[in-house]
Structure 1
Amino acid sequence: MGLAAAVEELRTLILSFHPIIVMETVEEERVQQVLQTLAPTIPLPLFEWSVTRGLVRLPCAVGRALHGTTEPLLALGNMAEYTVEAIFCLQDFVPHLSEPQVARKLRELARQFSQTRSTIVLTGATVTLPAELQDYAVRYTLPGADTQELRQMVKAVLTSLKDKQPVKIDLQPWQMEELLRALQGMTLNQARQALAHAILVDGALSAADIPRILERKAQAIHAEGLLEYYPVTEPRTALGGFQRLKQWMQRAQMGFTPEAKALNLPLPKGILLVGVQGCGKSLAAKAIAQEWGMPLVKLDVGRLYDKYVGESEKNLRRALLLAGSLAPVVLWVDELEKAVGGGNDTDTGVSQRFLGTLLTWMQEKTQPVFIVATANDLTPLPPELLRKGRFDEIFFVDLPDEAERERIWQIHLHHRKQDPAQLDLPALVNASEGFSGAEIEQVVVAGLYRALYLQKPLDTALLLAELQQTIPLSVSRREEITHLRRFAQGRFTPVH
């Protein structure tokens, strides 16, 4: 969705007598652009307020700030006395609502504006309203910059830089589209800075700049703290076993092709991976993204729920919106049961609202965002999440069998520059029955540390000794794993 759609949606809100519109965003420039495009279509005059400038009519060429309106209370009083309907955009106004007089005046103004087309637009990075103002306000999420908006930004940056120094453009049309996709998901200002930086590195705009922009995007997403970004260029992930999942992946990938679109086939929704800890669910999420050539973003819902008590739903909506702006993308929702399970005294209904937000988004999303959700414990997961149609498939990840353990040993030994042929691999596979992939990896790591300490090459005896000293989850949590296996039997598709 671009700015044209944003203008139309805001126009509808204003014409339907919403006195307060809340827009949580740091992109003041884009808010101003939307409102300046919108105001003449109604038509209504547009005013903008900040504590440093006061109330100014836009465009700024119209006039200077109204005298005395840097004071929030005086600014609201001036707006109340304005005899013509108008749009008033108040920037970072919420902190002033801690003053009872200001909060009361805004409430009176909202009641007055609810009978007219006059509207107050509250903007800021975080907008939390007092309870008495909630009924007057509607929240609107400013969409991220679309391809057309980004294309215009690229032209503007090139024009600006060419005035200062020559810029060589070496991009095929398809590479330009790839560049625009790389810029998606950032704010317009972040995208502008990333593009300018990439050009100034070598005085050219070429395909070599795309990885640089992706790196900047990963930094920007990481700084926001809601998602962790893994670009397509991440090192390949070796996944031992999982043959049924791999076959399913190859078929599901066809859902993103033009041929599937021509047949009106829906995009693949996603999968849920449930099962024993340490058996490769996280690796599977990375492998799917790499196999399909898509970036991967990780949403750790457990951390989100713990860290943002009281604001979890808002942060989830923001994270899902950001994931949609990065499409096509694989969204890895880690430890799903921590977010939607609830069942504790401090939950206060957040998990149910979290679940409702997630289910609604899964049902209504139209962007190619493929979900890979993982869960270690099925008990807290509500039935509505497991019913047919929520996910394309639910896979059960069990402990690796003999052939898979052999492949896992080979992967981890090769990764740490050891030759499996120099070891008694059948003996290691036999001795590691009941071990997860993660536990086998830790045995290899511990064995190599012991070999370094003893100043000798890694051998089978060292690894067997580490295996004997390790108590796997299949032993320490035997009852839980047995229950999990029984519950999954006949209900979910095994990955092996």
Structure 2
Amino acid sequence: MSFAASVRHLQTLIMSFHPIIVVETVEEPRVQHLINKSTLDLQLPVYEWSIAQGLVRMEGNRYNRWKNEYAPPGASRPAVDENTADPIDALRHIQAIAHRAIYWFKDFSTHFDDPVVTRLFREVAQQFSHNQSTLLISGEQVSLSREIAHEAVYFDMPLPDRDELHKAIVDAVQALRGRIKVKLTPAEMRTLVHTTQGMTLNQTKKVIAYAALEDGHLNADDIGRVLERKMQIIRESGLLDYIPVEKNTAELGGFHGLKQWLAQARTGFSSQAQALNLTPPKGILIVGIQGCGKSLAAKTIAREWQMPLLKLDAGRLYDKYVGGSEKNFRQAVSLAEKMAPAVLWIDEIEKTMGGAQGADTDGGLSRRLFGSFLTWLQEKSQEVFVVATANDISQLPPELLRKGRFDEIFFVDLPDAEERATILSIHLQRHHQAPDQFNLVELVQATEGFSGAEIQQLIVSSLYQSIHQQCALDTALLVQSIKATVPLSVSRREDIQRLRCLATDRFVPVK
């Protein structure tokens, strides 16, 4: 959603008699800008409240009716309504104000532990539901009591769009005027703006300023520095792992069927497809045996399509607060949309949404996350290609497996002889071993029933053994390690056979 669309959305909420609007964000300057833009056409005065300063007329709004007549010339600090720092005093004060207005309360939800505050807040909200006045509450996490929640509507504050990010970069450069030199072509500037997508305005200004001050220049070389900082910021958010195209070195052996499908699906992002009113592909589900390349496939898709890879780990979504997990999911997919085009990898999706079939041991959380995911997958308009991976399809809700949810569902079996040869060559070369110095035919035969991950680990463990024995790695040493290993196909034979039976005639093989 663009900033202009956000303004229209907030205006609609105000005019449609919503007395309480909740905005969960730490970007208070953006909230202030949004409120000022939204109330300009509505001709409404705006007040803001915090425990530190009480109730004041918000700056930058021409429809605030009063000015501080006692302020010294040139002073820009707004007038404070006396004795309104206390939440109860502030609410009683605005109850007595007859005209329509917007009241922005910062970090107010912490005061709802007081029953008097809760009761008085409800009374004000009931009063406002008749005169189009609005209480807007902001904070990083806003928790409302049940008595208030039914009157409230949540406003999703989107991450900055490209226009906002461009302005933030320009503002940062202007603030450093005389101390840095800017050497960016229009194309490089567009790339820099694209690189900052997914960050807040404050983060963008800091990153740009740091990159420019480091050597006194802001040029194309700084795009890499900004990207590194962006990776760190996304990791710090705790919801997504970020792998840029430049850092993605994944190689996938085999999977010819999947690769052929992806080559065709990629045309869905082309201008020709848009001209025919075709929507880009939504995503794929990859199910199969552990260690056989599902995760590697997600990385390879992002690398082949030259898109950043965003990994959503199921465990990171869960929050101890009611509604916190759903909020984390909304934030994660919102971040993915802001970084589009991108590949969103949801690893082990059955752990996030597997409880949707029946068990309510988590209080229905899996059902709610499952519903949120299906709605987003169906309605998303941004070019975010979803790659979901699953080991245990028996835990997946049947609604997720029906045709139309994903563009295709693929099944990954143990690698065949040709794929094992490719996997052996890839990992030998990765560890600086020449594949032609080994008897690949013998190694391929010996590793029958081994997964790709098991083959990789065999090479790694054999290399450690060769270092310990002070000898070169050879075929005999690898075969020795192979014979000493019990693969998953043996230790979990029944589970693998059950998975194969479920996948037969239901999913498309990746080979």
- Both structures adopt the same fold (TM-score exceeding 0.5): yes
Q: Please tell me whether the aligned partners of residues 302 and 335 of structure 1 are also in contact (alpha carbons under 8 angstroms).
A: no
The Cα offsets for residues 220-272 of structure 1, whole Å up to 9 and x where unpaired, read as 11111011110111142111101111111111111111122122211111111
Query: In terms of mean alpha carbon deviation, does 458-467 or 73-82 score higher?
Result: 458-467
> Equivalent residue for 1:12?
12
Offset of 1:165 from its aligned partner? 2.0
The residue aligned with 2:49 is 49
Match of 1:375 in 2: 390
Q: Report the alpha carbon displacement of residue 302 of structure 1 after superposing the two structures with TM.
A: 4.0
Matched residue, 2:298: 285
Kindly indicate whether the alpha-carbon contact (under 8 Å) linking 2:180 and 2:212 is maintained by their aligned counterparts in 1. no
1:228 aligned to 2:241? yes
Contact residue 239 and residue 316 of structure 2 kept, 8 A: no
SS of 1:341 mapped into structure 2: helix
What are the equivalent positions in structure 2 for 1:52-451 lying under 5 Å apart?
52-59=52-59, 61=76, 63-162=78-177, 164-171=178-185, 173-305=186-318, 311-342=324-355, 343-344=358-359, 346-451=361-466
- CA distances 1:34-67 after superposition (whole Å, capped 9, x unpaired): 0011122112110011111111101174832111
How does 1:449-488 map onto structure 2 within 5 Å?
Answer: 449-488=464-503
Contact 2:180 2:213 in 1 (8 A): no
Q: What letter corresponds to residue 48 of structure 2 in structure 1? A: E
Name segments (4+ residues, structure 1) moved above 4 Å.
306-310
SS in 1 for 2:317: helix
**Equivalents in 2 of 1:153, 1:361: separation in Å?**
29
- Look up the match of 2:71: none
- Structure 2 Cα separation of the partners of residues 195 and 103 of structure 1: 43
Structure 1 residue runs of 5 or longer lacking an equivalent are none
Q: Percent identity?
A: 52
Instruction: Letter of the 2:258 partner, please give it.
Output: L
Residue pair 1:19, 1:136 contacting (<8 A) in 2 also: yes
SS of the equivalent of 2:281 reads coil
Using a 3 Å threshold, how does the CA distance of structure 1 residues 397 and 160 change in structure 2: closer, same or farther? same
Q: Secondary structure at the match of 2:48?
A: strand
Give the partner amino acid of 1:253.
R
Please identify, of 92-101 and 368-377, the stretch whose mean Cα deviation from structure 2 is larger.
92-101
CA contact (8 A) 2:287 2:409 kept: yes
| CA distance 1:259–1:413, change in 2 (3 Å) | same
Q: Deviations over 1:379-411 (max 9, x none)?
A: 111121111111111111110000100111111
Distance 1:427 1:365 in 2: 49
Number of residue pairs the alignment of both structures matches:
494
After superposition, the Cα gap between the structure-2 partners of 1:359 and 1:186, relative to the gap in structure 1 and judged at 3 Å, is same
Distance 2:145 2:136 in 1: 16
Q: Secondary structure at the match of 1:438?
A: helix
Q: Distance in 2 between matches of 1:235 and 1:318?
A: 24
SS at structure 1 position matched to 2:247: coil
Q: Per the alignment, do residues 200 and 310 of structure 1 end up closer, same or farther by CA in structure 2, a change over 3 Å counting?
A: same
Paired with 2:111 and 2:486, the residues of 1 have a C-alpha distance of 58
Task: Tell whether the 8 Å contact from 1:14 to 1:117 is kept in structure 2 after alignment.
Answer: yes
**2:179, 2:351 → 1: CA distance?**
53
> Separation in 1 of the partners of 2:418 and 2:237?
42
* Alignment partner, residue 39 of structure 2: 39
Cα distance in 2 between the residues matched to 1:15 and 1:378: 47
| 1:306 positional shift | 7.6
Deviation (angstroms), 1:201 = 2.2
Partners of 1:293 and 1:48 in 2: CA distance: 45
Using a 3 Å threshold, how does the CA distance of structure 1 residues 358 and 83 change in structure 2: closer, same or farther?
same
Structure 2 stretches of 5 or more lacking a match? 61-75
Q: SS of the counterpart of 2:345?
A: strand
| Residue pair 1:240, 1:408 contacting (<8 A) in 2 also | yes
> Residues 282 and 386 of structure 2 are in contact (CA less than 8 Å); yes or no, is this contact kept in structure 1?
yes
Distance in 2 between the 1:33 and 1:469 partners?
A: 66
Q: Are the aligned partners of 1:145 and 1:187 in contact in 2 as well (CA < 8 Å)? A: yes
Per the TM alignment, residue 350 of structure 1 is displaced from its structure 2 partner at its CA by 0.9
Specify the SS of the correspondent of 1:379: helix
Offset at 1:344? 4.5
The amino acid across from 1:124 in the alignment is G
Q: Is the Cα–Cα contact under 8 Å of residues 238 and 316 in structure 2 kept in the other structure?
A: no
- 1:123 and 1:206, CA in 2 relative to 1: closer, same or farther beyond 3 A? same
Q: Distance in 1 between matches of 2:322 and 2:102?
A: 34
RMSD: 1.5
Looking at structure 2, the residues matched to 245 and 307 of structure 1 have their Cα atoms a distance apart, in angstroms, of 39
Query: Residues 104 and 135 of structure 2 are in contact (CA less than 8 Å); yes or no, is this contact kept in structure 1?
Result: yes
Letter of the structure 2 residue corresponding to residue 311 of structure 1: G
User: What is the Cα deviation at residue 196 of structure 1?
Assistant: 1.4
| 1:3 paired residue number | 3
Deviation at 1:159, TM superposition (A): 1.8
Q: Distance in 2 between matches of 1:305 and 1:69?
A: 38
Letter of the structure 2 residue corresponding to residue 8 of structure 1: R
Aligned-pair CA distance for 1:303: 4.2
- Residue 358 of structure 1, CA deviation: 0.3
Q: Is the 8 A contact 1:273 1:372 kept in 2?
A: yes
2:25 and 2:467 map into 1 onto residues whose CA distance is 53
